[in-house]
Structure 1
Amino acid sequence: MVGDRIRELVEKYQDGTAPIVSLGEAVLRQPAERFDGQVDDSVLVAFVELLRRTNKAAPGVGLAAPQVGVSVQIAVLEDPAPVSDEVAEARQRYPLEFFAAINPEYRPHGAQRRGFYEGCLSMPGWAGVVNRYLNLHTTYTDVAGNTQRRTFSGWQARIFQHETDHLRGTIYVDKAEPRSFTTIETLQTRWNDPVPTTAARVLGFHLD
């Protein structure tokens, strides 16, 4: 049961971080259950804080509950955006303050898409280019139970799509350009341009 699993993790890792589930585990491929009061407010807050600590320690820019073995629609997002001004402008990557998204939904605002390398904490050591929507309309519930409707663009929209996809049983590799896959080491030494146009040309993949 989802509630039992949440309570177990909160109790076991109350001052630490939870283990992150690796690609290949079934929980990452199952559509997650909607959160509908499976735990009380205090346990929910504690679970969100556990996700936050785990994401920050990894370090990552987002973490979904299935990545710690809980098949429920809760994700946390936070990006300090520690990149150069050139990269920030090219990728539209700007700081994203921490928030938790419960039962999130998104739809594109316009048809524009952009392709950039991204990775996943459940698949460390690898990256691939995903062409994602540039602008989003989103809806989610916050920890206090309030419905939030926000728009995101650029890298923030990318993070929201990536984490919400996790809650549908979808991993970024399902949407990535297959010929773009690379180890992180090769990405950093060969293809770490602000925009992966050279990688697209040399490796032969599509880039929106």
Structure 2
Amino acid sequence: MSPDATPTDYSAARIHETVQEVLTAGVLPAIVQAGHPVLRQTAAPFSGQLSDAELGQLIDLMRSVMHKAPGVGLAAPQLGIPLQLAVLEDQFEVDPAVAAVRGREPLPFFIMLNPSFQPSGGTTVAFYEGCLSVNGLQAAVCRPESVRLDFTALDGTRQQREFSGWQARIVQHETDHLHGILYLDRAELRSLSSNAEYSARWAQPDISLARKELGFLPDA
């Protein structure tokens, strides 16, 4: 949890009302952008605020928003809903050389409620990340290469899963969202790049060239 994040003040009734507004709007909702307070609060743990049917509808909607963006993960606060729910899926075609360096393997659609993670092993690795709630920017973020995720599954059971490589990065990024943390909080700010500059200069499989030219992580 971010030391600066305060718990959401939304009651269960207000969360339910907000979800109903999103579900009945008839259009895909916009993704909330940095500066909105919901992204800086600890979301409420899921504890039955929604019926099974409502939760299923919200998950389907979040998956549609994620695909349209497009992205590989979406947390409920990114739709203005302070609830500890996120959806993840990475089925993009990636250059094999890039995938090998980044440890990027396809991630089948995955839903997590009330997640938390712990590093699994002591290895960390830095790569560029972007965020659907921080339009137009990317920055290098150093994260544990492997994590153990604790989460609640849709059937209500508490479960654990191990993730490594790019999948672990997605899991950490989305779990952070539920605790009021943006990737910029963990980023090497000297690496901050517009999408255009990233594409033109720093889209190599690793960050070694960007690290040298922009002067971050000098001891890496």
TM-score between both structures, scaled by the size of structure 1: 0.96
Q: Please tell me the root mean square deviation across aligned C-alpha atoms, in Å.
A: 1.1
Deviation at 1:7, TM superposition (A): 1.8
- Structure 1 residues not aligned, in runs of 5+: none
AA in 1 matched with 2:188: E
> How many correspondences in the alignment?
206
Q: Which digits, 9 at most, give the CA deviation of each residue in 1:45-77, with x for residues without a partner?
A: 100111100001000000000000000100000
Percent same amino acid among aligned pairs? Answer: 43
Please state if 1:97 is matched with 2:119.
no
**Contact 1:81-1:94 at 8 Å conserved across structures:** no
Determine which of 102, 126, 133 is the counterpart of 1:122.
133
User: For the residues of structure 2 that align with 1:178 and 1:92, how far apart are their CA atoms?
Assistant: 24
Structure 2 counterpart of 1:38, from 42, 49, 63: 49
Amino acid across the alignment from 2:131:
C
Does the CA-based 8 Å contact 1:21-1:69 persist in structure 2? yes
Moved more, 140-149 or 187-196: 140-149
Which has more strand, going by share of residues?
Answer: 2
Alignment partner of 1:136 is 2:147: yes
Residue among 201, 204, 208 paired with 2:215 = 204
Consecutive aligned runs of 4 or more in structure 1 exceeding 3 Å deviation: none
3-state SS of 1:119 partner: strand
Matches within 5 A, 1:48-197: 48-197=59-208
Q: What is the Cα deviation at residue 148 of structure 1?
A: 2.4
* In structure 2, C-alpha distance between the alignment counterparts of 1:144 and 1:17, rounded to whole Å: 26
Shift of 1:147: 2.4
SS at match of 2:42: coil
Question: Cα distance, 1:146 vs. partner?
Answer: 2.8
Q: 17, 26, 33: which one pairs with 1:4?
A: 17
TM-score, normalising length: structure 2: 0.91
CA deviation profile, 1:83-103 (whole Å, cap 9, x unmatched):
111001000001000011000
Q: Give the Å deviation of 1:145.
A: 2.0
**What secondary structure sits across from 2:24 in the alignment?**
helix
Q: What is the identity, as a one-letter code, of the residue corresponding to 1:11?
A: T
Residue 143 of structure 1 deviates from its aligned partner by 2.1
- Any idea what SS the aligned residue of 2:196 has? helix
